[in-house]
Structure 1
């Protein structure tokens, strides 16, 4: 693994001559004379923004639990080197997955350029099958679009192709395979592409902090390491940049910072992404910045499959604010769908005995799912608890697509280090009431109706519902 200092040092350096094998389309022989040395990263931490040392200046993004790919300038062209390869990704502390990605990590590194840049990307295939890279949302020559069999031959194992085009418009984009897509994307192959405006843009405001991440999902059995690539809907791990809570870093900002968050969705379903304590504007999609006449303040934005959303807001409320997908099953980890409901039944002693014989046995707790975080149930090796994470007041009881926006008045400008938990000023926090209480008003058990039934049952029957053990297959 390379240190950040070494990465920055190599961003503009020329490396030794390694001949490129094949070009994806018409690229000059001079351009293929030497490859930039690939820069690798295996740490799962959020890396500091990569301030451009060459080319036109811009305010760089911060990739949540990720990093930005350095480049070199070669006769006015920005050159990058992506390596498609198997990787090991720590999804949460103590839980690692065997995935596919780029340059040592899944998702791959973020690529940042400026509108008008001519960009050349060398893609080396270290997988055991054909590969190609599609530059999702980009305007480019058809032969550079990266669709195996349609616009180019697939990149054979061990070979390198070259993609070259001009970044024609600013915005938030993605890259991902268009070769054996179901397998390669299910294994974690994807990355972000950010094109910054070359000058002040009437629809793109300047911000102090600019975060980005991708939504992805996996189906990995408890105790296993490799995703099940044939899964279509019943995923058990909902991730941001291949990380699950409590492995997702917080988004740390200074009070009154203007903040931008860019989110792309490469899962198999939509995600309503919700921010606590603030309102935001949807200021961009993968089609570009949104017209100001279409913007309205929201606290949740739904991101469909294959879409990007860019949100802007003023971080003017101090605190530790939850930031998550609002689909409740997407804020859990390693959840089986055929789990029987046992609400109201004290089965903790029995469950501990059964798990000694059946390690992956799990049922909903008598008080709901969250009390499972208190039961200290044994887990298989290399897995994550369904709901976990410890806050200043105990178990957070969340997993999956969940993080925290940390807003602090005393956070130094440009400092992304975690400031710790927010100290609530006196009188600003919920507390236990020990005084007298009036009887609360309750809704009557019997419902009314404009048209009463002609006949009522001879005796009242209380319906008892139980979740079917067959899972979600019949929904």
Structure 2
């Protein structure tokens, strides 16, 4: 993470240039330093250094925004800006987000907190922030033109309200939102209860992430913001499998997973090996009489769902959207089905006219996971990621929920592949059981599985020119 001083330096604004703007040093000193984060690692929980205590969440491939206390008010600083988001190892996208990331950092507060959020606009167009699901004064609701003037480029606005009810919420623009949300502008908000709550249980692990989708042509960097339905990259927190970190738990932990949907369609979220209950929405906690066991819950557009369960089955359990096209990357939508068609020799003849051509689909799409076919630069393969027993033919909205009896409390590191007890792995009749996976503790970095990608393309973002930064 970087400080406000580093932020202005990286934006090309030296100390003298800051002093030369219309902002006085007194005004600058009154605003908390923005914290900028550019890596896609899952950060550990941010233990509250001030204010009421609470059990913090962990943002999948993300982080929680630090704050400062000033006269009893919890102050945050969001910076809306162009960012580069690594969606998977070797594949990066030009997006818009907050504080160096898309989605922006999670904001955590406690029921009854008075919060003050400074929002600096470093985008090339005006913006606003809507605090989705919050009860607040109408003028703080963040709908540009209706409840407030839009925030011009280079300006800083301030929002202030009391977090009146506990729950799972989010934030996003209500200014040119078709463009800005399609470019990745969104973030998570959690309001913790101020004490014991009859409908909100204490949990051992509390994960959060947002569902989002992009249409980025192979070999390009910027989403097509006019796309309505035919997205080719389905992501969690702007990450696609195998770039999505695993969710880990100690056996018998009580686990809460909070999910928000800001795509253009619904997502039936499905977990293997466990049953859960939906315990909350963005409307508040669900009464216990209205809960029932599920293994899949559908999350519609603009909805938040929090699910809870006991992680009482050891293993590496798949966790994914159950729409099959949403567990693929970089999908084409006009590819003919060639299953059963004999096109032997066709690729060789066509490749003389079109170098690099490859015929696909004669036996299905599974072969594509094994083909190390060349890709345009900065392109995510459709499905890839090697598990302990071979290729995992998934992409997009897919990760692994890892339960271990020896995972320490508060330890969110990847424990490596599960060591299956003898005789508990499916195998060919008459053949020896498959070899054991690598020892536990193998480092997989920020991914559930390793990704084979020949190139790592670095791209840059353009931000408004220096000197266009003002505070109001």
Higher relative contact order (CA 8 A, sep 6+): 2
Task: Report the Cα distance in structure 1 between the residues aligned to 2:201 and 2:20, rounded to whole angstroms.
Answer: 42
Q: How far apart are the structure 1 equivalents of 2:182 and 2:357?
A: 26
Poorly superposed stretches of 4+, deviation over 3 Å: 17-22, 30-33, 345-364
Q: 2-side partners of 1:276 and 1:114: how far apart?
A: 32
Residue 268 in structure 1 maps to residue 261 in structure 2: no
Structure 1 position 378, deviation (Å):
1.3
Deviation per CA, 1:306-350: give whole Å up to 9, x if none: 000000000000000000000000000000100111112355764
1:425 aligned partner: 421
Matches for 1:225-240 after TM superposition, within 5 Å:
225-240=221-236
Q: Find the counterpart in structure 2 of residue 307 from structure 1.
A: 303
Length-normalised TM-score, structure 1: 0.84
Using a 3 Å threshold, how does the CA distance of structure 1 residues 92 and 310 change in structure 2: closer, same or farther?
same
Match 1:210 to one of 206, 209, 213:
206
Aligned to 1:26: none
1:196 corresponds to: 192
Change (3 A) 1:286 1:345: same
Counterparts of 1:299 and 1:19, CA distance in 2: 58
In 2, the alpha carbon distance for the partners of 1:19 and 1:323 equals 52
CA shift in 2, pair 1:94/1:352, >3 Å: farther
Equivalent of residue 121 in structure 2, options 120, 125, 130:
125
User: What CA RMSD, in Å, does the superposition of the two structures yield over aligned residues?
Assistant: 2.3
SS in 2 for 1:183: helix
User: Counterpart of 2:438?
Assistant: none
1:277-328 deviations in whole A, cap 9, x for unaligned? Answer: 0000000000000011110000000000000000000000000000000000
TM-score normalised per structure 2: 0.85
Q: Which has the larger radius of gyration?
A: 1
Q: Deviations over 1:81-125 (max 9, x none)?
A: 000000000000000000000000000000000000000000000
Matched with 2:336 is: 340
Aligned residues: 417
Q: Which whole-Å deviations, capped at 9, do the CAs of 1:23-44 have from their partners, x for residues lacking one?
A: xxxxxxx999611000000000
**Runs of 5+ in structure 1 lacking a partner?**
8-16, 23-29, 436-475
Contact 1:218 / 1:235 at 8 angstroms: preserved in 2?
yes
The residue matched to 2:191 in structure 1 has which SS? strand
Equivalents in 2 of 1:418, 1:178: separation in Å? 37
Q: Aligned-pair distance for 1:374? A: 1.6
| Alignment gaps of 5+ in structure 2 | 8-17, 432-472
1:52 aligns with 2:48: yes
Change (3 A) 1:299 1:19: farther
Superposed CA deviations along residues 429-455 of structure 1, whole A, max 9, x for unmatched, are 1111139xxxxxxxxxxxxxxxxxxxx
Query: Alpha-carbon deviations, 1:141-177, whole Å to 9, x = none?
Result: 0000000000000000000000000000000000000
Contact 1:348/1:375 (<8 A) preserved: no
- Please report how far the alpha carbon of residue 2 of structure 1 lies from its aligned counterpart in structure 2 after TM superposition: 3.2
Query: Corresponding residue for 2:362?
Result: 366
Q: Could you say if the C-alpha distance between residues 107 and 357 of structure 1 is closer, same or farther in structure 2, counting changes exceeding 3 Å?
A: farther
Give, in whole Å, the separation in 2 of the partners of 1:31 and 1:49. Answer: 32
Residue of structure 2 equivalent to 1:13: none
Q: Give me the whole-angstrom Cα distance separating, in 2, the residues matched to 1:142 and 1:115.
A: 19
Number of the residue aligned with 1:2: 2
